Every structure is written in C-alpha cells, then in structure tokens.
Structure 1
Amino acid sequence: MPLVLLTATALVFLAANSILTRAGVLDGTDPLVFAVIRVAAGAAVLTALAARRGITLTGTRRWGAAAALSVYLLGFSLAYRSLDAGLGALILFATVQLGLFALSLLRGEPTGPLRLAGMALALGGLVWLLLPGGGVAARPLDVALMVAAGLGWAAYSLAGRSEPRPLAGSAGNFLIATLAFALAAPFWWGAPVTAFGALMAAASGAIASGLGYALLFRVLPRMGIATAGVAQLAVPVIATLLGAALLAEVPPPRALASGALVLAGIALATFRYSTIRSSGS
C-alpha cells in the first residue's frame, strides 16, 4: 500500500478517537467506563499484534509510560462530556506540541526565532480559542482535563521516542494501564454504560487506538522528520470535519479562526525546527 494512503489511514484512525469518544459519552456511557473498555480493547489488539515477537512488560520506563497513558485516557474521556470532538482534538494536539516544546526549552535544545514565533502564535491562538464568548461552549473543568490529557500524551510520546521495540512496548503499556484500571474498579463499577457507548469504546480501543498506533509505528520510520511532524497537523482538522458531518458539531467562526492560528503556529515551529535538525544530522 502506498505511503500516502497508509499515512492518511493512520491519521483518520487517530482523529476517530475524538468522534468515537464524544459519541459514546453523549449516548450516556460514563467516561470512566468508556476509558476502561477502550484501554482493554486496545490492549487485546496490541497484544495479539505483538505476541509473536514478544511483549515488553518490565523496566521503570514501562510503568512511567503506562501512567502517562492512563492520564491521557482519563482526561480525554472525561473532557468529552462538554467539548465538541473537533475542539477537544485541537486542545489536545496543541497541548501536546506546546508541552514537548516547553520540555525542549528546559533541556536546552536549540531553539531559533522562527520556532519561538511559531509556538507563540500557537499559544496565542489557543488562548483566544478558550477566552469566554465567541460561541465556543466549553466547561473550564473539561478544558483543564483535556490539557491534562495532552500533557499525558506528550509524556507518553516522549517515552516512545527511546522505545527500542515500539509495538512490544505499546502492548506492555496498554496491558499495565488495563491492570491499573481494573484495580480502580471501585471508582467506576456500576456506572452507566449503553450498548452503543460500549461499542464506540471498543472501536476506539481496538481499531482507532490499537490498529491506529500499530499503523503509525509502521509509517513514521518511512517518513522524514519534518513530514511526520507536519502531517499530524491533519488530526484536529479531520476530527473537526468528522464532527461536523457525523455529530452535527459545526465550530463557530472564532473557533475556526483561532484553530487556524494554532495549526499555523505549530506548522511553522515544527517544520522549521525539523528541517534544521534534518539538515544538521
């Protein structure tokens, strides 16, 4: 299958998590139960895919990655109680990129003026998006939860950069996170769940997460650094389009304008910085 088609499929899978989660929670399924079903379904698929070559379950890195994954899953599901699918995906994606950028500053990595300007533009767009008014309906608590989810995903992504066996490690991360959710059963046991919501959670875990991440691991090594970074900008765009088409969630004009600023800023910072790294390697 051509690289372009594989990449497009992986990005659609990633964006589908927002649609499936929003649809399942809107149907009446408790967000915590949704997260439990999602992580268990993802663990089952990733375990099946990685079983032949072994699954990595040991090491301090594994527990840290599983904790970051759990934070992402919890924040992501809970935030979609009020956030539209596209808005949630944009906040998540912007938080991930800004979090990784802040970490790079703390580590003393080289940062040129264009990268600083790009991230400043993205941060300004995100602040404008979340200011009161403008037709953007979002509860502050749910926005904070999506920001927490983004930071969790940023930490998980950082752990994955040094993962020697990505698929085996991901399977281990999902299995450990599933165990953690099982031990926390007193907090979610008996919470409401609908048949449709359970189906959405299983699809999110098994297909959009399990198969989506496995496919992403396959295509990323075949892409240039700059291409991989910029290509992921499509995720919130796809989520917004799918949200409008399937959930009738049409973003107001200010959300579209501020979202464009966020994506433009991240594109400027990511592409420019990745190009410098590529040419200097």
Structure 2
Amino acid sequence: MSDLSAFLSRFSIALYTLIALVAFAANSVLCRMALSTQQITPLIDPSSFTAIRLIAGALVLWLLMLLRTTKTNTTNLTSRGSLFAAGLLFTYAVTFSYAYVLLDTATGALILFAAVQISMMLISYFQGHRLTLLEWIGALLAFSGFAYLVLPGVSAPSITGLVLMSISGCAWGGYTLLGKKSVNPLFDTGYNFIRSIPLVALMILVVWILPQLTSTPQTTVLSVKGVWLAVLSGAIASGIGYALWYQALRGLTSTHAAVLQLTVPVIAAVGGILFLDEVISFHLSVSAGIIFVGIALVIFAKAHPVSKPTQ
C-alpha cells in the first residue's frame, strides 16, 4: 500500500469514528428529549420510541443496500449480519429507551459506556488480548476522568435505570465486538436491523396489544414531535451511524474502540447543555480533559502482544 493510500485509509477510519461517536451521543440526546418525564406528558412512550427507531433504521439501511446492489454484483446478501447480533441490537435499544425514562442525558450515557468498556475489555481479556503498560496507564486515566465526571456532580441514579442501562451497555459492547468481524459493514448492519423487526413485533404485541386484551391501563403515548425524534434517532443516528461504526471497527483494535467510546458521555453532556438546558460545570471541563489525555495515551501506545509461556 502506498503512503497516500495508507494516509487516506487512516483518515477515513478517523472520520467514520468521529461521525459514529457523535451519532452515539445524538441517540442519548434524542431519546432523552423524547422520553423526559420533566415534561407534563412525555412526547412518546419507550416501546413506541424503540419500535419506530429500529424500523426507521431498517428502512433507511434497506434503501441504501438497494442502491448498493445496483452497482455491484453482491451475492448471498441474506448471509450478512446474524440473529445473535440482531438480538443484541434489540436488547440494547429497548433497555436504552426504558432507562432514559429514569435517567438524565449525562448520567445515562455515563452508565451506558461504563458497561460498554467493562464488557468489551473483559471479553477481549478472555480472548487473549493483553495491554501494554502505557495502554494500562491511558485506560486508567480515562476511567479516572470518567469517574470524576459522574461521582461528584451527578446525583445517585435510579436503581432500575442503572440496571437497564447497564444491560444496554453490555449488549452494545457485544454488538461492537461482533462488528470487528464485519467484512461488509453496510449489509451486516442493515440485516441486523431487519432481523430485529420480529422482536419489535413481539414487543408491540406485549406492550401495545396485551393491555387491551387484559383490560389493563394503556401506556402508549404518541406525538408528532416524539415520532420525528424516534425517526431521526433510528434513520440517522442509529442506522447510518452504526454502519459507519462497523466500517471504522475494521481499523480499530477492541481496546481502542472501547476507550474511544468514553468520549460519548462528554459529547452527550454537551448536547444536553445545548438542547436540554443543562448547566455546564467546571468538573465537566476538567473530566473531559482527563478523558481525552487518557485516550491519546491508549491510541498512541505501541501494543506488544504478550505471548504465553511454553510448557
């Protein structure tokens, strides 16, 4: 590979990563805007938000796949993605929505990506990946900034919200690691979204139809603004954002992918300030600086594989 080709490849990976991280943060902001209980009535209920989000993402990705297949002779497209990845995607999305009824933007993003880091690093460790000393220092520094952001200035979260968002983060960590094996990010992401639709239908049956059959109170809430927020979250921030993330993962190690996602709570917190009238604080600025220094150390550290001693 020529120097120019190598540079363009690194640049594209960096660009895809940046857009994907912003998309992750946008999901937190859009979801919280739609589901916030600080309003007299939420704009939409969690199950409706999840259903519209996943269906919108599937439709947009399906259209992009149609455009792509007219230009290439791609065969056996239905082998892309997997049922397991679709299950992780649905689990992430539904627990994410229900958690954001109980958590604010910054707290939800912090819990989500703490669970992402723990799950990804544990899985990578058991798969044999070992960190160098500089990577350990950078990761610990990034986690220190992460802890500084959440502990002093954010009130204790709802236990139910904490559990739901932790499940969501673990599901997303697994989904991200599966993306490392993707050879066609657009089609893998698209078919993962499409395969999640039966699970969406099951959720609709349970949440929307079952109350009517059992004479229990109906909890469905829909408004035009709430629907549009869900569509934006699904079509742009989720569908396109996740496809770009799978593309970026081809050039990132699992450790780099895990630590880079620590920037998302910071971006989400800024989004909360801009769109949800949250007040900026000094400790947010300091923690952001600590996180970015830690990430820089991890990225620029040279990884040296640790070989297991021979018997």
Tell whether the structures are fold-level matches, with TM greater than 0.5. Answer: yes
Give the corresponding residue for 2:222.
193
Structure 1 residue 224 displacement after superposition:
6.5
Unaligned runs of 5+ residues in structure 2 are 1-7, 37-41, 209-217, 306-311
**Which residue matches 1:39?**
54
Structure 2 counterpart of 1:25: 35
Q: How far did residue 265 of structure 1 move?
A: 4.7
| Residue aligning to 1:14 | 24
Q: What amino acid is the match of 1:142?
A: G
The counterpart of 1:145, out of the listed 143, 152, 164, is: 164
Offset at residue 111 of structure 1 (A):
2.6
What is the one-letter code of the residue matched to 2:34?
G
Give 1:269 deviation, angstroms: 4.2
Q: Give TM-score scaled by structure 2 length.
A: 0.74
1:187-243, CA deviations, whole angstroms, 9 ceiling, x for partnerless residues? 22152222211111111000111122234445565x665997465444322211111
Contact 1:119 1:265 in 2 (8 A): yes
> Could you tell me the TM-score, scaled by structure 1's length?
0.81
Does residue 115 (structure 1) correspond to residue 125 (structure 2)? The answer is no
Separation (CA, whole Å) in 2 of partners of 1:31 and 1:16: 17
- d(CA) in 1 for partners of 2:183 and 2:247? 14
Please give the residue correspondences for 1:12-161 in structure 2 after superposition, counting only pairs within 5 Å.
12-26=22-36, 27-51=42-66, 52=69, 53=74, 56-58=77-79, 62-121=82-141, 134-161=153-180
Alignment partners' CA distance in 2, 1:8 and 1:119? 19
Tell me how many residue pairs correspond in the alignment: 274
Contact 2:121 2:255 in 1 (8 A): no
Structure 2 distance, partners of 1:250, 1:66, is 37
Instruction: Provide the rounded CA distance (Å) in 1 between the counterparts of 2:252 and 2:143.
Output: 26
State the secondary structure of the residue aligned to 1:109. Answer: coil
List alignment gaps of at least 5 residues for structure 1: none
Cα deviation digits, residues 175-196 of structure 1 (max 9, x gap): 1112211122232215222221
My pick for the range that moved more, 262-271 or 74-83, is 262-271
Residue 191 (structure 2) aligned to one of 172, 194, 204: 172
Work out whether residues 22 and 81 of structure 1, in 8 Å CA contact, stay in contact via their aligned partners in 2.
Answer: yes
Question: Is the CA contact (8 Å cut-off) linking 2:182 and 2:246 kept in structure 1?
Answer: no
Quote the offset at 1:142 in angstroms: 0.7
Instruction: Mark the CA change 1:134 to 1:233 in structure 2 (over 3 Å): closer, same or farther.
Output: closer
Who wins on radius of gyration, i.e. which is larger? Answer: 2
